[in-house]
Amino acid sequence: MWRRIWALIIKEFFVIWNDRRSRAVIIVPPLIQLMVFGYAATFDVSHIATAIYNEDGGAAATTLVSSFSGSPAFNVLYHLDAQRQIAEKIDSRAVSLVIHIGPTFSRNLLSGRPATIQAIVDGRESNTALIILGYVNQIVETFDQRWSLKTHQPLPPAQLVTRYWFNPNLQSRWFIIPGIVALLTMVVTIVVTALTIAREREVGTFEQLLVTPFSPLEILVGKSVPALAIGISEGTFIILAAVLWFHVPLRGNVGLLYGGLLLYILAVIGIGLMVSSLARTQQQAMLGAFLFVVPAVILSGFATPISNMPHFIQAITLANPMRYFLVIVRGLFLEDLPASVVIAQLWPMAIIATLTLSGASWLFRHRTT
């Protein structure tokens, strides 16, 4: 029996490996994507295109302007000299931020009255806009503190001291790259499994396979093992790249990480094989793979946190294996996640894997073309 399964595994490997284009699809795009996304996927905002409209000629206004142009977060591109230019620059997306200092700024400041400046941001990308406003507030706060010290004004009775744990410099790359381990492993595994059975059904070789002495379980193992091997090597490669190339700290237990990776890939293979055996044609199988991958990525917490989602969407995410693996991979990379938390993520993936794999093997025989 084991020799039979082994033969099937070898055959499946050949199907993927002997086609030059199919082989390239497994190796090249993930490599490029890791590099590109590793650098591209960041929530950190820098070099904010800024214009300054300074109607006040005073020294205080000049100091404030220079603290903007001196900060690496801002890239002051224009100095405006008319109100209407503000709309021109923002509308055409030439700048994302305009700082407007009114003509009475220095006078108010020197006489002890509250002085205001206007910060106008492009709200078409409100996440970036919010981050920009945060930076503007920081610059102004620093300016205020210096001004208070210089003019001997009293300080507030309590200070807020903020520390960020696990990622002290708030680099979103540390958050995104472990996520890419989950993302690319899933995409490659789905791509390898989703079309396999649909293609055999379309060509007619699946009926031949079914009349051989293979049991559905043996077919399942034969189809799963190559995908599992490809998925594990893909995951390993990205984990290595994260540590050696992107220098993301790996603080947790590697054994736990691989336990999670194994169950995650098995769950994804189960889903891929189920899609594949449900589909009548390759086109339908591909549609099915898409219908799983796209929501799975968006509703996994990869880019936006699950806790921000409404409750009924949060309930849907419970069926998504990527959600659990993301917690494991991010937690083990940055935080040295306790084993109890890892195990709490492992068993839902084990359930998903059992259900989908047994579903797929049942469908092998009961789905007739």
Within 8 A by CB and 6+ apart from 304, the residues are: 298
Q: Output phi, psi for 225, to 5 deg.
A: -60, -45
- Residue 73 CB, shortest distance to other proteins, in Å, is 10
Torsion of CA 225, 228, 234, 235, to 10 degrees: -150
- Give the x/- contact pattern for other proteins in 26-45, rule: CB under 8 A: ---xx--x--xx-xxxxxxx
Stretch that binds other proteins, among 51-59, 123-131, 217-225, 226-234 (CB under 8 A): 123-131
Asked whether position 58 contacts other proteins by CB under 8 A, the answer is no
Indicate whether 55 belongs to the interface with other proteins (CB under 8 A). no
Binding residues among 7-26 for other proteins as defined by CB under 8 A: 19, 21-22, 25
Q: Which of 9, 140, 217, 243 binds other proteins (CB under 8 A)?
A: 140
Whole-number CA gyration radius for the chain: 28
What does the per-residue mask of binding to other proteins show for 318-357, with x meaning CB under 8 A? ---------x--xx--xx-xx-xx----------------
Nearer to other proteins, 112 or 213 (CB): 112
- Sign of the dihedral through C-alpha 160, 164, 168, 174: negative
Cα–Cα distance measured from residue 183 to residue 19, given in angstroms and rounded to the nearest whole number: 24
Among 72, 156, 204, 213, binds other proteins (CB under 8 A): 156
Query: Rounded CA gap, 189 and 130, in Å?
Result: 37
Among 52, 117, 238, 346, binds other proteins (CB under 8 A): 117
d(CA 199, CA 331): 38
Residue 243 binding other proteins, by CB under 8 A: no
Q: Is 93 in the site for other proteins (CB under 8 A)?
A: yes
Nearest to 31 by CA among 184, 153, 203: 184
Among 224, 45, 26, residue whose Cα is nearest residue 125: 45
134 touching other proteins, by CB under 8 A? yes
E strands in 28-110: 48-54, 74-79, 97-101
Distance CA(196)–CA(44), nearest Å, equals 40
CB 17 within 8 A of CB 23: yes
By the rule CB under 8 A, 157 interacts with other proteins: yes
126 touches other proteins (CB under 8 A): yes
Residue carrying structure tokens 């070789």: 205
273 binds other proteins (CB under 8 A): no
Q: Which of residues 292-321 bind other proteins (CB under 8 A)?
A: 293-295, 297-299, 303-305, 307-310, 312-313, 316
In whole angstroms, the minimum distance from the beta carbon of 305 to other proteins comes to 6
Closest separation in Å from C-beta 358 to other proteins: 26
The closest alpha carbon to 26, from 177, 185, 172, 166, belongs to: 185
- Measured from the CB atom, the residue of 223 and 330 that comes closer to other proteins is 330
Sole binder of other proteins in the list 8, 51, 64, 352 (CB under 8 A): 64
Interacting residue with other proteins among 191, 248, 273, 322 (CB under 8 A): 191
